[in-house]
Structure 1
Amino acid sequence: MESSRSLEIRQHNAITAARYDYSACQLDILFCLLSQLRKEDSSDVSYRINIADVERMTGRQWNYQQLQEATADMGSRLFEVENDKVYKQLWMFQKVEYVKGQGCLEIVLSKFIRPYLFELKDNFTSYQLHSALKLSSKYAKRIYQLASQWKDIGETKTYTINELKVMLKLKDPHGKQPEQFEKFSQFKARVLDIATRQINEHTDLKIGYHLIKQGRAFHSIRFYINNQSPKQLPISFEQPIEDARHQQARQILDNLGIKDTSLIQRILSEKALTDGLFKFNYDLKTGRAKADKNPAGLLLKVLGLR
């Protein structure tokens, strides 16, 4: 039975290893869908995603245009699943409906993709929704999925750099599209190092990697995985969303070093101040706000409390 403190998504490994290219926003939509899947669901069940709930969980803002573009693109892109016997092209949705005035969207999954999302056999990947949503880099989200598949063993199999790039859709296995981050230094800095840093900061896993040379060039990679207590408090999906929002806000304030109980209570009791806190935290993490010396002081100034 799933813990009320930590809702887990379970994915069949064929999907984890599939070749697909989703943005961070699209992966968040996928993770929200996966968290709602139940074995007893009918093939035409409609899954509802409330935009405000996801914004509160992630600290990132979505708008209808962004979401409509994201789901339209998701609907046109394919999952490529391949084994020794068959190569399959699979699409995610039968339909997506945006409910006007209610701030939500409803999604019906393709009947052909559903078996890969539902098969809870021995060979699956299990990872926590709050961790997946906390990662802002799409490559961090994908590498987190991969690391979670191997977390009980402590290390992944050895992947060639070419295999990993193909899996992350940075390289076309047929050579028809130009390769991204062709220089290894770019791939290391903008994919591997960012993913490692975000995973170690925001999730239940601590990872590292070892690069293997063939001749003078790096040829392969192996990831090492350990469990850790996440630095971010996990969100309880069984508690009211407002309680989860306050829990997350308290964590942000604690990370900033704000300990004054009366100040904390005021920020939590006024929605505009809480919203401002989440916006400030997002701006700080994405580099839009610069506060290397005194981020707490800048927050209070931004909120009009100083």
Structure 2
Amino acid sequence: MELQKTTPEKKIKQHNTITSGRTDYSACQLDVLFMLLACIEDTDAPKKRYNIRVKDIELITSRKWNYQQLLESNEEMMSRVFKIEEEDGLRQIVLFSEIKYLDGTGSFDMVINEPARPYFFELKNNYTLLELKSVLSCTSKHAKRLYSLACQWRGTGGHTYSIGELKEMLGLKDPKGKEKEQYSEITMFKKQVLDIAKRQINEHTDIVFDYELLKVKGRSFDTIKLFCGFAKPKLQMEIDFNVDLEKQKKNGELLQKIANIQAIGIRDDLAELWAVKYWKQFVEEKNNLLEAIQKGKVIADKPAYLAGIFKKKGYV
């Protein structure tokens, strides 16, 4: 069998109506969806079979997949209805018409449902650019969806949704009101969904993500604004399955961390030290810095500010 090469930083084109569509796909199902998107080419023939290798996803995410879980997850995805708001009404479709498991290969084939093809292929200028490794590295399904939404509004200064609308898009609220709303209390929605997503997106992806809760219509929070900040520099890491995979992956992850720290303006020697010993602390302090700026605090020299925090806490 010919060994494949994959590029975790490969860009994914995702139609914005799919990005904004309402679905309650699980994290595992979203991983499969994003892996498929990375395989798609504009010139693909109808009814093409796309081969998804479990090993590829495990390599990128560092998470082992349970075969039975994958089987059940894909079975659910085959019957899951994807809801898309169109100009003349709500459209309900399933994205895939067939999934076939290939014995002894650790892989499966997927066929896109014919009515769903336009949402994958008629992209033109209406698409979102994602990074495969970024999406798969987020373990929270809400982080995956919010990352997609944030990328959609990258460079526009943010985008505002009603909290109810965002919950519907995340599959946390039934627009018809027949099912109980999840995380109805704003504190729980913030803690269990938004803050977890923010932490994972800022730690694992190529963007800086933040949000702001607003009181627009009354005394309670009813609106949320998503912010997608500057992109971090991306290092191309091609994975060759003929050599030591773990060594390649670890080296690539370390280089990416160093590049992310350098993007803030930290000098090279400190960036290397922080990437190796204080990565979690860096992500935490960077998030604190962004929150302070969002609240109006003026910080002229961000690298010096972070270096001062690290020195004060005894990290350097």
TM-score (norm 1): 0.76
2-structure distance, mates of 1:225, 1:31: 20
Letter in 2 for 1:24: A
Aligned pair count reads 250
- Which residue pairs with 1:293 in the alignment? none
SS state at 2:108 partner: strand
2-structure distance, mates of 1:252, 1:121: 32
- Which residue pairs with 1:67 in the alignment? 70
Check whether the contact 1:57–1:245 (CA below 8 A) recurs between aligned residues: no
Answer with 132-141 or 214-223: which moved more: 214-223
Percentage of identical aligned residues: 44
Q: How far has the Cα of 1:39 moved from its partner?
A: 1.1
Q: What does 1:168-247 align with in structure 2 at a 5 Å threshold?
A: 168-213=170-215, 214-229=217-232, 236=237, 238-241=238-241, 242=243, 245-247=246-248
2:13 to 10, 17, 20: 10
- Which residue pairs with 1:111 in the alignment? 114
Against the structure 1 CA distance between its residues 245 and 31, is the aligned structure 2 distance closer, same or farther, given a 3 Å change threshold?
Answer: farther
The Cα RMSD (Å) is: 2.2
SS state at 1:154 partner: coil
2-structure distance, mates of 1:59, 1:234: 19
Matched, 1:85 2:75: no
- Which residue pairs with 2:4 in the alignment? none
Against the structure 1 CA distance between its residues 150 and 73, is the aligned structure 2 distance closer, same or farther, given a 3 Å change threshold?
Answer: same
Q: How far has the Cα of 1:121 moved from its partner?
A: 1.6
2-structure distance, mates of 1:167, 1:190: 16
- Which residue pairs with 1:248 in the alignment? 249
SS state at 2:9 partner: coil
- Which residue pairs with 1:284 in the alignment? none
Letter in 1 for 2:250: A
| Per-residue Cα deviation, 1:239-263 (whole angstroms, up to 9, x for no partner) | 414466423223567899xxxxxxx
Against the structure 1 CA distance between its residues 243 and 7, is the aligned structure 2 distance closer, same or farther, given a 3 Å change threshold?
Answer: farther
SS state at 1:81 partner: strand
| Per-residue Cα deviation, 1:92-142 (whole angstroms, up to 9, x for no partner) | 211111111111111111111111011222221111111001100000000
2:97 to 82, 94, 98: 94
Against the structure 1 CA distance between its residues 72 and 183, is the aligned structure 2 distance closer, same or farther, given a 3 Å change threshold?
Answer: same
5+ residue gaps, structure 1, are: 257-306
5+ residue gaps, structure 2, are: 1-6, 258-316
SS state at 1:114 partner: helix
1-structure distance, mates of 2:148, 2:79: 23
Matched, 1:29 2:32: yes
Answer with 247-256 or 142-151: which moved more: 247-256
Check whether the contact 1:130–1:234 (CA below 8 A) recurs between aligned residues: no
Letter in 1 for 2:64: Q
| Per-residue Cα deviation, 1:170-224 (whole angstroms, up to 9, x for no partner) | 0000001010011111000010100111101110110111111132210101011
2-structure distance, mates of 1:141, 1:176: 26
- Which residue pairs with 2:140 in the alignment? 137
Q: How far has the Cα of 1:160 moved from its partner?
A: 0.5
1-structure distance, mates of 2:53, 2:31: 12
1-structure distance, mates of 2:226, 2:211: 4
SS state at 2:208 partner: strand
SS state at 1:80 partner: strand
Check whether the contact 1:199–1:207 (CA below 8 A) recurs between aligned residues: yes
Q: How far has the Cα of 1:5 moved from its partner?
A: 8.0
Against the structure 1 CA distance between its residues 189 and 94, is the aligned structure 2 distance closer, same or farther, given a 3 Å change threshold?
Answer: same
SS state at 1:57 partner: helix
Against the structure 1 CA distance between its residues 234 and 99, is the aligned structure 2 distance closer, same or farther, given a 3 Å change threshold?
Answer: farther
Q: How far has the Cα of 1:229 moved from its partner?
A: 2.3
Answer with 189-198 or 243-252: which moved more: 243-252
Q: How far has the Cα of 1:73 moved from its partner?
A: 0.4
